[in-house]
Amino acid sequence: MRNLNQETITQAVIARLAQTPDARLKELMTSLVQHLHAFARETRLTEPEWQMGIEFLTAVGHKCSPTRQEFVLLSDVLGLSTLTVAMNHDKPAGCTESTVLGPFYVADAPRLPNGADLARGAPGQPCLVQGRVCALDGAAVAGAEVEFWQSDAEGRYDVQYEDLDEHRARGVLSSGSDGRFELRTVLALPYPVPVDGPVGQLLGATGGHPWRPAHMHFKISAPGYEPLTTHVYRQDDPYLDSDAVYGVRHSLIAPWVDDGQGMHRIEFDFVLQRRAL
Ligand code: BEZ
Ligand code: FE
């Protein structure tokens, strides 16, 4: 295999990949090489441009830490997270739609009793969230694990505070025997995705804004059901149609009712898809 040129290089790499023992890895790598080479050809990619690309990816890696996942953010602003979620969670009508996980999920959040105050001192106006976890036929899903997280009135998640060593506006509850759950939190507001890294620079260079519409995150799991990762968005938010990470689904938008005394109330039911037997 010598004297490879711009006509023969792609086929040479694909031929070498043909020996990959794992069939799925072979399929993924072959397709990736085909598309990467097609991109370079189509754009007539120059060496300085590819060097910039490598420096950008290096900076993305350097920005990652246990509490900051710049690669997830990159996938999100490129729409790749939403595409992957949409392809892998095509559910029957009536089931709650999935959306992006985002970079601020924490796997070991505190377990709190149903009805608890998850805000635990997070800045913001009080907000009561109530709902029910059920199946498509309306049957209550008792004991579902309801993981919740959101940003506060400063637009930050607990993990974005360097000096905070406990969780706020985050927690895990179990639905009751009637499938119902209730939690107290603070009012979520629109917030910008982190722009102090290479992904923020890319957003700026491409004329995009970093704002996400106000939302709360939920991850709901119960035996016998497909896990659900989703958001609940606030009706009339100015960013619903220009979300920086393309995560909004119409069915996930709900009214957040202001009781006129500084308290907001949200009611949202989650319909889980039964796991195929
Ligand atoms: C979030 O909603 O937490 C989020 C999602 C994608 C990128 C940044 C933040
Ligand atoms: Fe979020």
Q: Where are the domains of the chain?
A: 1-45, 93-193+209-272
Residue 199, CA atoms < 13 Å, CB-side half-sphere = 25
Closest CA to 173 of 140, 149, 139: 149
CA 198 – CA 54 distance, rounded (Å): 12
Q: Domain 93-193+209-272 adopts which CATH fold?
A: Protocatechuate 3,4-Dioxygenase, subunit A (2.60.130)
pTM of this structure: 0.91
CA distances, 245 to each of 102, 236, 239 (Å):
9, 18, 11
CA distances, 90 to each of 45, 72, 85, 139, 229 (Å):
36, 22, 8, 21, 13
What is the pLDDT averaged over residues 139-160? 96
Closest CA to 192 of 165, 155, 167: 155
Q: Which among 212, 219, 229 is the best mutation to test ligand 1's pocket, defined by most ligand atoms within 8 Å of the CB?
A: 212
CA distances, 212 to each of 219, 241, 248, 255 (Å):
19, 10, 9, 17
pLDDT per residue as tens digits for the range 34-80: 999 999 999 999 999 999 999 999 999 999 988 789 999 999 999 99
In this structure, which residues have their CB less than 5 angstroms from ion ligand 2?
Answer: 102
Residue nearest to atom 2 of ligand 1 (CA): 102
pLDDT per residue as tens digits for the range 192-209: 999 999 999 999 999 999
Backbone torsions φ then ψ of 258, nearest 5 degrees: -90, 120
Lowest average pLDDT, out of 33-42, 157-166, 248-257, goes to 157-166
CA 248 – CA 94 distance, rounded (Å): 17
User: Which class for 105: exposed (0-12), middle (13-18), buried (19 or more C-beta within 10 A)?
Assistant: middle
Closest atom of ligand 1 to CA, residue 149: 3
